[in-house]
Structure 1
């Protein structure tokens, strides 16, 4: 059965961009885009190398706003629209809650993303693994 509402979590990676393209090309239904800003505490600050603070939080939110705006533009280019949301929290938990709260029936996401360093690949790969393992709906992982 074809989905009625697809979620595409975006993290700024090329694979997430491919996931958005796949969703827009494959599904003729409502598409929501979600960017999750992880809390910027010392545990998430790349080994504590970056100082936490308001400037970092604002920079992260600005980046998130740019990502969802770019998603809107890409959808417009494909003669589609997307609903966009930016939330703060644990990425996997936030995605799973969004699925439940917004009546999502299919998730399309990149397998991993972020920068090309090993830490980012491990962390973001873990997000996809958690969503695949815990989501109550079909999850398509784009690689």
Structure 2
């Protein structure tokens, strides 16, 4: 069954852009792009390494706004429109909560590898692994061919 509402989480990476392109090419339905701003005191954010402050928060929100605007432009170039959202929180938890709260029936996201010891995390990336493992809907992970 074809989805009615696809969510594409964006993190500014080329794989996330590829995931959006895949969703726009593959699914003729409502598409929402979501950028999650990690709280500045979280380990995955700049604030986990640097002192949190208003300037950092504003910079993170401005970056998120640029990412969703770039997604709107990418969709427009493909003859499509997308809905956009910016949320704050742990990326995986926020994506899963968004799925639950917004009638999402498919997620398309980029997967990132790395030097982690667990095979799934190495193949998909931490956030993608959590979403694949916990999402109540189908998740498509877009990976680079290289």
Q: Same fold (TM over 0.5)?
A: yes
Please report the TM-score for the alignment, with normalisation by the length of structure 2. Answer: 0.87
Q: Does the 8 Å contact 1:42/1:52 carry over to 2?
A: no
Counterpart in the other structure of 1:88: 88
| 1:100 Cα deviation from its structure 2 partner | 0.7
Number of equivalent positions: 138
User: More displaced, 46-55 or 77-86?
Assistant: 46-55
Question: Residues 50-96 of structure 1: CA distance to partner in whole angstroms, max 9, x if unpaired?
Answer: 22111001000000000000000010111100000000001001000
5+ long unaligned stretches in structure 2? none
Counterpart in the other structure of 2:125: 125
> CA–CA distance in 2 between the matches of 1:49 and 1:72?
31
Counterpart in the other structure of 1:61: 61
5+ long unaligned stretches in structure 1? none
Root-mean-square deviation over aligned CA pairs: 2.2
> CA–CA distance in 2 between the matches of 1:38 and 1:128?
16
Counterpart in the other structure of 1:13: 13
Q: What does 1:1-143 correspond to in 2, within 5 Å?
A: 1-41=1-41, 43-45=43-45, 48-112=48-112, 125-143=125-143
1:42/1:23 Cα in 2 relative to 1: closer, same or farther (>3 Å)? closer
1:42/1:12 Cα in 2 relative to 1: closer, same or farther (>3 Å)? closer
After the TM superposition, which parts of structure 1 deviate over 6 Å for at least 4 consecutive aligned residues? none
Structure with larger RCO (C-alpha < 8 A, sep 6+):
1
